[in-house]
Structure 1
Amino acid sequence: MAIKVGMVSLGCAKNQVDGEMLMASLKNAGFELCDDAALADVAIVNTCGFIDSAKQESIDEILELATLKKEGRIKKIVVTGCLAERYREEIHKELPEVDGVFGIGANADIAACIESAMNDFTESFPEKSKMPLCGERELSTPSYFAYIKIAEGCDNKCTYCAIPMIRGGYRSRTMESIEEEARGLVENGAKELILIAQDTTRYGIDLYGEYSLAKLMRRLCKIDGLKWLRVLYCYPDALTDELLETMAEEEKIVKYIDLPLQHASARVLKRMNRTGDRESLTALMKKIREKIPGVTLRTTLITGFPGETEEEFTELAEFVKDIEFERLGCFAYSQEEGTSAALMPDQIDDEVKNHRAEIIMESQMSIMDRLGEKQVGRDITVLTEGFDRYAECWFGRSAMDAPDIDGKVFFSAETKPYYGEMVTVHVDEAIDGDLFGTRV
């Protein structure tokens, strides 16, 4: 009888794609896939190890499954992903309930790893470069949208970030392999494809000797049946004019740029090993908005970086108010071992870091309320995602919203839409960052 495997995948969309490839490998090797890890013989926790809160979520999930293992409901617990790669020795020592710990390089041979873990505790940490860049996937997203990982690893060496240490150097996929995967996803019903990597703007620099994201996106826009093409995790230094022009000209590319800036103070950015200052970043935002009319700008910021003064925090808060980002997330700095920022003097108290993040988010909510009001009275295209039984209405996302990180559009409809259908919604009101309307 086939061994049943189930997965809990945590963290970012990049890790989610890795998990989908793992599950496809196991299915091809004869394992039976189970939607609920709690009902499987082997529960895989595909972990995130990026910041403290994500690490804690991974540990809590392992402990929850350990209770089920103790009760005899599951047989084995296997840990993959970033936490496994980053804390090789510690996981088995601190969590003896775990039966297998496999680094990202072991993803290519996951079936053999799990078969070994069925007999005795097993760990495997091949070179990171052995991790496959692409392959078959068992999609965990609804068929109407999918992520495509265009590169692995990172070379940016931001001082607060453990990703280069965990994932290794930057490796791009070929355009041919990305296009082939994209065509298959669209044939399978995907209306929206979302390009992801640790830094999408550097795509192709290692393979083709130049920034190639714009060329890749133009190529993908030729796929019949594709409605929306979205790109996440852009880096301000590598945002070329060619890319902005491509985004403005190609109808299928949603006018949405996710640009994690992290800060606006020149001194803080320098300590982060990033370039720019408030003046140059303000000019860049102005340039983007001029080149792509109606663009949705999304960013993420860090408060409480070591040595961040009250003046530097105030500069960041004023920058947020001045720019009026359509979408924004702010996180308190997480002191990550193995990074150079963790060893910097002037570490800031957790209470102060968190309070500063709250101030930024409160400011952003009032900005989003104002921007939401501007949408009232307009007709927008919405990708239908489901029906809310409590609100008794449908919901979905507009081009202004990426899955899981942004808001929703709720709408009533006399004609019942199907999941994945693109409908026109007349916006009647905006509440707490979400839009409410009626299907036209």
Structure 2
Amino acid sequence: MAVKVGMVSLGCSKNQVDAEILLALMVNNGYELCADPEQCDVVIINTCGFIEDAKKESIETIFEFAQLKAQGKVKVLVVTGCLAERYREELAMEIPEADVVLGIGKNTEIAKAVKEALDGQRVTAFGDKADLPLNGDRVLSTEKYSAYLKIAEGCDNKCSYCAIPLIRGGFRSRKMEDILEEARGLAESGVKELNLVAQDTTKYGQDLYGEYSLDKLLTELCKIDGFHWIRILYGYPDRVTDSLLEVMAREPKVVKYIDLPLQHANEKVLREMNRNGSFESLTALMQRIRDKVPGVVLRTTFIAGFPGETEEEFAQLVEFVRAVRFERMGCFAYSTEEDTPAGEREDQIDEEVRRHRADLVMEEQMGIAFELGKSLVGKKLEVLVEGYDDEQQMYVGRSYMDAPDIDTKTSFVSEYEDVKPGDFVWVEILDSVGYDLIGRQTEPDEK
């Protein structure tokens, strides 16, 4: 009888892609996937170790499944992902309930490690971060019509607050032919929405081809039949080229949406974050993107309460949010990370102040987002159907303005038959409630 394996993947979509490769490795070695943890022989926890809250969630999840193991419901507990890579032997020593602790450089050995654990051995294995597999079969954990496609791994930006280079290593692009081969397979399997991810998508290709090549990659991806939307996530503002914007404006499949985490708008704070830019330069960049890609949705994230951030510097961030009016935005309280230059600074800001500042930014954004929602009433948006809400008695989906998992929803009624998840339909917006839109299915305008 096949050994049943379950997976809990925490953190970002990039980690989720790793989890899908791990699941395929297990399936290809004869293991059976199981969705119910209490019915699993083996549970793999693909952890996140990015910021303090994520680390706490990872540890809590490990202990939750350790209890199931103590009750005899799980035989083998596997811990991998960013937390395992970052803390290595320390984690293996402090959590003896974990039968396997695997660094990301040893992900290809997961099936072997699980077999050894089932035979009674405890396995801890770590390798070179660059050995993390970027190619290979995947078992998609998303809905069949939407998938993430990782185009690069690691990061060279060395932002002073961030531990990602310590965890994931230096930036390395996948070969374009490998990405396109995987993309064709995803399209053939029914994927209609392709979401490009990396630690820095806009740097794609520089290490392999000597130039930023996201524009060329997008052009090739658009030639693949089956994709309706191709979305850019996790870009870096310094690398938004005119040629990239031209592709976004020209290619119908590339949704008019770009995710550029800016982190701050004050020049001094950005410099101390080891980032470029200023209030003026970033305002100009946002305007350039909007000018070259009409109708574009700008998504960003900010950090409030960075060490040494003064009231005046924070006020400039709020003013920037007010001035640019981002369509989508998140703001997080600064998280002190060990082994980072910012984490070693003595001028740390009280955590309550950090969180209060982040709340103030989000309050500012909330008003902007609500006004944007009201401005869409009477307009038609193309929506990717995700399901039916029995309580509301409405269909639920996302417009081009909304990435999966992080953005808002559009709910709508329909008089059409056979509306199903994965369909693209046109919705006339009748109202906005908070961040979300309400509408009814309609016909598209004639071109």
Partner amino acid for 1:78?
V
What does residue 347 of structure 2 align with? 346
What does residue 107 of structure 1 align with? 107
What does residue 51 of structure 1 align with? 51
- Could you tell me how far apart the structure 2 residues matched to 1:351 and 1:51 are? 17
What does residue 240 of structure 1 align with? 241
1:96-135 → structure 2 map (5 Å cutoff): 96-118=96-118, 119-135=120-136
Query: Contact between 2:154 and 2:165, CA under 8 Å: does it hold in 1?
Result: yes
- Could you tell me how far apart the structure 1 residues matched to 2:131 and 2:284 are? 41
What does residue 262 of structure 2 align with? 261
Q: CA RMSD in A?
A: 0.8
Query: Contact between 2:92 and 2:124, CA under 8 Å: does it hold in 1?
Result: no
**What do residues 250-288 of structure 1 show as CA deviations (whole Å, max 9, x unaligned)?**
111000010000000000000000001000000000111
What does residue 34 of structure 1 align with? 34
Query: Contact between 1:409 and 1:436, CA under 8 Å: does it hold in 2?
Result: yes
Q: Does residue 369 of structure 1 match 2:370?
A: yes
What does residue 66 of structure 1 align with? 66
Of 387-396 and 256-265, the range deviating more from structure 2:
387-396
Q: 2:438 aligns with which of 430, 436, 439?
A: 436
Q: Does residue 85 of structure 1 match 2:85?
A: yes
What does residue 319 of structure 1 align with? 320
**What do residues 47-73 of structure 1 show as CA deviations (whole Å, max 9, x unaligned)?**
000001111111111111111111111
1:265-304 → structure 2 map (5 Å cutoff): 265-304=266-305
- Could you tell me how far apart the structure 1 residues matched to 2:327 and 2:37 are? 37
- Could you tell me how far apart the structure 1 residues matched to 2:373 and 2:290 are? 18
Q: Which runs of 5 or more residues in structure 2 are unaligned? A: 443-447
Q: Does residue 95 of structure 1 match 2:81?
A: no
Deviation (angstroms), 1:93: 2.6
Deviation (angstroms), 1:37: 3.0
Deviation (angstroms), 1:129: 1.1
- Could you tell me how far apart the structure 2 residues matched to 1:137 and 1:242 are? 31
Deviation (angstroms), 1:80: 0.6
What does residue 6 of structure 2 align with? 6
Query: Contact between 1:382 and 1:422, CA under 8 Å: does it hold in 2?
Result: yes
**What do residues 157-211 of structure 1 show as CA deviations (whole Å, max 9, x unaligned)?**
0010100000001111111111111111111111110110000000001110110
Deviation (angstroms), 1:225: 1.9
- Could you tell me how far apart the structure 2 residues matched to 1:136 and 1:188 are? 12
- Could you tell me how far apart the structure 2 residues matched to 1:202 and 1:38 are? 42
Deviation (angstroms), 1:345: 2.1
SS of 1:420's equivalent in the other structure is: coil
> What is the count of residue pairs matched by the alignment?
440
- Could you tell me how far apart the structure 2 residues matched to 1:114 and 1:409 are? 42
Deviation (angstroms), 1:39: 2.0
Of 278-287 and 64-73, the range deviating more from structure 2:
64-73
TM-score, normalised on structure 2? 0.97
Partner amino acid for 1:3?
V
Deviation (angstroms), 1:112: 0.7
SS of 2:50's equivalent in the other structure is: coil
Partner amino acid for 1:57?
E
Q: Which runs of 5 or more residues in structure 1 are unaligned? A: none
1:181-196 → structure 2 map (5 Å cutoff): 181-196=182-197
- Could you tell me how far apart the structure 2 residues matched to 1:229 and 1:256 are? 9
What does residue 218 of structure 1 align with? 219
Query: Contact between 1:7 and 1:36, CA under 8 Å: does it hold in 2?
Result: no
Percent of pairs with identical residues = 60
Runs of 4+ in 1 over 3 A off after TM superposition: none
Deviation (angstroms), 1:92: 2.5
Query: Contact between 2:385 and 2:397, CA under 8 Å: does it hold in 1?
Result: yes
Deviation (angstroms), 1:414: 1.6
SS of 1:255's equivalent in the other structure is: strand
**What do residues 75-125 of structure 1 show as CA deviations (whole Å, max 9, x unaligned)?**
111101000000112222322211110000111111111112222211000
- Could you tell me how far apart the structure 1 residues matched to 2:298 and 2:128 are? 37
Partner amino acid for 1:77?
L
Query: Contact between 1:395 and 1:408, CA under 8 Å: does it hold in 2?
Result: yes
**What do residues 369-428 of structure 1 show as CA deviations (whole Å, max 9, x unaligned)?**
001111100111000001112111110000000000000000011224111000111100
